[in-house]
């Protein structure tokens, strides 16, 4: 497994991280079993993945609680990342979405940030968070300016509650605002070979500034594993139903591209998903990939991609195929 630095924090983590949104369950992901989730997390640690990313909003605390159980006795071997900024405990903040009878709001007030951190520490059964990230940015920066949020995070770091600071779902201007007020160690944007928007400006800026990039959804919710065929159906409330690449007219195009790489999977003795993860990690400035999994066998397959090194020729060939695919119809 490749090990990489999280910004300038001095923390080294596995290039492949375990994303735990689905482990939280709920209508977006369907039924999950905590026992299987614990087994998946422990399989990740056994397979060389020491980086686990979660958030309070994943199952309204359930994901963090399951992780806390799974890493008991192995906390010192785990790099924990969680988040703040999505709040459902009272009417503070600006409405973001409703789910399971709860109204989730966006707020990055220092008071609620500190409250969220304490709740996360309790659920995760730990006394510190390795990487603490703002989940979604405040829609009212005039009331919750980034410099105040950063000041709060720096104070938490000085107190030993957190070790590194990150921001998710940020624009370039927001990244620069964080940098002006302190120092970001990482950002967490959406990125996959089907969604490369950050390559235009965010990725180059982060490379120059030594800000790590944690790519979420690198496998496009499983589509880029090649295992979701044309016959697969999703319930009306399932998250994947909202993604344009899952529409039949787009899914067939993606599957055709993946099928054209059969010679590469044979050459590297890997699965399609492993090939895609390795390509993603090979992109300059792309530091980590966060791969979701709910079962031990999925985790073990993803982890094996952490030692897969593609030739420059094959990386270029795959990018050419990806660019030829174009945007979703």
Domain assignment of residue 217, given as a range: 3-222+283-308
Q: Name the helix (H) or strand (E) containing 241.
A: none
pLDDT for residue 240: 84
pLDDT in tens, 30-58: 778 899 999 999 999 999 999 999 999 99
Between vectors from CA 176 to CA 319 and to CA 54, what angle results, nearest 5°? 65
User: Residue 71 and residue 69: Cα distance in Å, rounded?
Assistant: 6
294 domain residue, yes or no? yes
User: Residue 213 and residue 255: Cα distance in Å, rounded?
Assistant: 27
324 domain residue, yes or no? no
- Confidence at 20, pLDDT banded by 50, 70, 90: very high
Say which CATH number the domain at 32 has.
3.20.20.100
pLDDT in tens, 246-303: 999 999 999 999 999 999 999 999 999 999 999 999 999 999 999 988 889 999 999 9
273 domain residue, yes or no? no
Q: Is 58 a catalytic residue?
A: yes
pLDDT for residue 116: 98
pLDDT in tens, 192-234: 999 999 999 999 999 999 999 999 999 998 899 999 888 888 8
277 domain residue, yes or no? no
Exposure class string for 21-32: b at 16+ Cβ within 10 A, else e = bbbbbbebbeeb
% of the chain surpassing 70 pLDDT: 99
How many domains is the chain partitioned into structurally?
A: 1
Please tell me which residue in 58, 178, 216, 268 is annotated as part of the active site.
Answer: 58
21 domain residue, yes or no? yes
User: Residue 240 and residue 251: Cα distance in Å, rounded?
Assistant: 12
Q: What is the DSSP string of 167-234?
A: EES--HHHHHHHHHHS---EEE-B-BTTB-GGGTTHHHHHHHHT-EEEEE-TTGGGGGGT-S-TT---
Other C-beta atoms lying within 10 Å of the C-beta of residue 315: 15
23 domain residue, yes or no? yes
Other C-beta atoms lying within 10 Å of the C-beta of residue 212: 26
252 domain residue, yes or no? no
pLDDT for residue 273: 96
DSSP state of 309: -
């Amino acid at each position: 497994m490749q090990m990489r630095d999280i910004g300038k924090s001095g923390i080294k983590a596995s290039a492949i991280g375990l994303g735990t949104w689905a482990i939280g369950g709920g209508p977006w992901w369907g039924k999950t079993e905590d026992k299987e989730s614990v087994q998946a997390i422990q399989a990740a640690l056994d397979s060389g993945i020491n980086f686990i990313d979660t958030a309070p909003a994943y199952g309204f605390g359930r994901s963090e609680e399951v992780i806390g159980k799974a890493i008991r006795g192995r906390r010192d071997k785990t790099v924990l990342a969680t988040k703040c900024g999505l709040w459902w405990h009272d009417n503070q903040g600006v409405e973001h979405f409703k789910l399971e009878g709860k109204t989730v709001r966006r707020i990055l007030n220092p008071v609620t940030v500190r409250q969220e951190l304490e709740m996360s520490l309790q659920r995760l059964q730990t006394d510190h968070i390795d990487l603490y990230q703002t989940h979604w940015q405040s829609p009212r920066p005039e009331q919750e300016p980034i410099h105040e949020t950063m000041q709060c995070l720096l104070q938490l770091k000085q107190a030993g509650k957190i070790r590194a600071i990150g921001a998710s779902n940020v624009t370039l201007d927001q990244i620069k605002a964080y940098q002006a007020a302190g120092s970001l160690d990482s950002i967490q944007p959406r990125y996959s070979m089907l969604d490369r928007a950050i390559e235009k400006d965010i990725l180059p800026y982060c490379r120059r500034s030594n800000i790590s990039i944690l790519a979420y959804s690198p496998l496009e919710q499983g589509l880029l594993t090649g295992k979701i065929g044309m016959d697969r159906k999703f319930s009306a409330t399932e998250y994947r139903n909202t993604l344009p690449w899952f529409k039949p007219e787009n899914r067939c195009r993606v599957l055709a591209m993946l099928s054209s790489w059969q010679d590469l999977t044979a050459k590297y003795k890997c699965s399609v998903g492993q090939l895609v993860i390795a390509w993603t990690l090979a992109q300059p400035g792309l530091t980590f990939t966060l791969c979701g999994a709910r079962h031990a066998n999925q985790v073990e397959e993803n982890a094996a991609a952490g030692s897969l090194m593609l030739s420059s020729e094959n990386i270029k060939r795959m990018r050419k195929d990806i660019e030829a695919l174009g945007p979703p119809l």
